[in-house]
Amino acid sequence: ENMGRGAGGRPGYGEFPEGKLGETRDTGHGAHRVPPPSGAGASIRDEEEAMGVFSRAVPRMLFVSMLQLTAFAPDEYFQGPEVAHRVVFGYGHLTWEWVAGLRSYLHPIVYAAMYQVVSGSLPDSFVGVVTWWGPYLLHAVIAAWTLAGAHRLAEFVFRPSATSGGSLRRLNAGFVGWNWFMGYCLTRPYSNSWEAALCTHGLVA
């Protein structure tokens, strides 16, 4: 009967009365903050918040991706879109890693699939536009998905408590969502952008 009671007869873990998140209830032993919900209800709320982050980030990342008129590193082209272009159209430069068979086609095959679709369904005048902008627009969506994953991870690590009240999650969302370097790199067709998205979501899967 006494399990869960702390020193002095105060309610221990699991004995808090039901109530809204952040609400304070008087249990007769003093005021106690109601703990955050857990289980299926919390999971649904977490997913809804993550989807909200994703939906707000997509237009922002699409806008950022359309500003990518410069190159940041050679891998941006020669480890993805250029290889995909050679697979579909038969020409394109392959660096020595590809010639030596050291690289996996798992990354560029995504762009190759996109190129294959447009090459057979769009006029030639549009194919060039898609082959250039397609990977960037795709990675804008991936970048937004990464931000949603970062929010899910922060939700997992910084659960609302008597001291944070969710402020740490909001602070993390601000730091990650408006970090210029995240938008600058995640919207570029790097395999690392895929890895960042998958690892972020994988940590809370």
Q: What is the pLDDT of residues 84-122, one digit of tens each?
A: 999 999 998 999 999 999 999 999 999 999 999 988 888
- State how far Cα 75 lies from the chain centre: 21
Give the alpha-carbon dihedral of 186, 191, 194, 199, to 10 degrees: -110
C-beta separation of 50 from 156 below 8 A = no
Average pLDDT over residues 165-192: 78
Specify the pTM.
0.71
* Long-range CB contact pairs, 59-63, < 8 A, 24+: 60/144, 60/183, 61/140, 61/141, 61/143, 61/144, 61/147, 61/183, 61/186, 61/187, 62/137, 62/140, 62/141
Q: HSE of 57 in the Cβ direction (CA atoms, 13 Å)?
A: 30
Q: Which residues, 6 or more positions from 197, have their beta carbon under 8 angstroms from its beta carbon?
A: 142, 143, 145, 146, 149, 186
Note the pLDDT of residue 154: 80
| Nearest CA among 136, 146, 137 for reference residue 173 | 146
Q: HSE of 141 in the Cβ direction (CA atoms, 13 Å)?
A: 5
- At 125-149, the pLDDT tens digits run 888 888 889 999 999 999 999 988 8
Of 1-10, 123-132, 154-163, which gets the smallest average pLDDT? 1-10
Q: How confident is the model at residue 163 (pLDDT cuts 50, 70, 90)?
A: low
Q: HSE of 93 in the Cβ direction (CA atoms, 13 Å)?
A: 6
Kindly tell me the sign of the dihedral angle through the C-alpha atoms of 167, 140, 63, 70.
Answer: positive
Q: Is 166 exposed, middle or buried (0-12, 13-18, 19+ CB in 10 A)?
A: middle
- State how far Cα 41 lies from the chain centre: 22
Q: How far is CA 28 from CA 4, 11, 32, 79, 161, in A?
A: 16, 10, 10, 65, 21
Q: How far is CA 69 from CA 39, 100, 105, 113, 150, in A?
A: 46, 31, 25, 23, 27
State what percent of residues in the chain have pLDDT above 90. 32
